[in-house]
């Protein structure tokens, strides 16, 4: 889903400390204009699939059916996995992201896609 609110070049959305204060650092367009079509400052939303292999403790006697039932059909909330993911310092070797489709308004429901993005916890 295209996010047109990201198209205008504003003081807060385009200039960077190492570029000029009056234009977009990435596409060079002046304040008050619209970012070029291929500028990284223009956003859209997409759906991606995240596959993660993690190691968890389960009862020794459980078979595949019970392990999958507990996680997929039992009362276990998938949000619990967030704590499990934090046990590993870096997930790069355990994770694969795959593009699924362009996001719709319905897909965006429930996701906190605030703009401008003020998330500062991202690790590179």
Separation of alpha carbons 60 and 2, rounded Å? 49
Q: Which of residues 25-64 bind Zn ion (CB under 5 A)?
A: 26-27, 35, 39, 41
Does 15 bind Zn ion (CB under 5 A)? Our answer is: no
Q: Which is nearer to Zn ion, 33 or 45 (CB)?
A: 33
Smallest distance from Zn ion to CB 43, Å? 11
Least separation in angstroms between residue 17's CB and Zn ion is: 16
**What gap in Å lies between CA 64 and CA 77, rounded to an integer?**
19
Please state, in angstroms and rounded to a whole number, the distance separating the CA atoms of residues 39 and 28. Answer: 9
């Amino acid at each position: 889903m295209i996010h047109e609110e990201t198209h205008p070049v504003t003081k807060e959305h385009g200039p960077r400390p190492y570029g000029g204060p009056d234009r977009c650092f990435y596409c060079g367009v002046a304040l008050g204009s619209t970012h070029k079509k291929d500028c990284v400052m223009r956003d859209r939303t997409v759906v991606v699939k995240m596959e993660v292999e993690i190691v968890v403790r389960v009862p020794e006697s459980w078979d595949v059916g019970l392990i999958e039932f507990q996680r997929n059909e039992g009362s276990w909330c998938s949000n619990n996995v967030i704590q499990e993911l934090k046990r590993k310092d870096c997930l790069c070797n355990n994770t694969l992201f795959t593009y699924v489709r362009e996001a719709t308004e319905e897909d965006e429901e429930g996701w906190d896609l605030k703009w401008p993005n003020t998330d500062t916890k991202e690790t590179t």
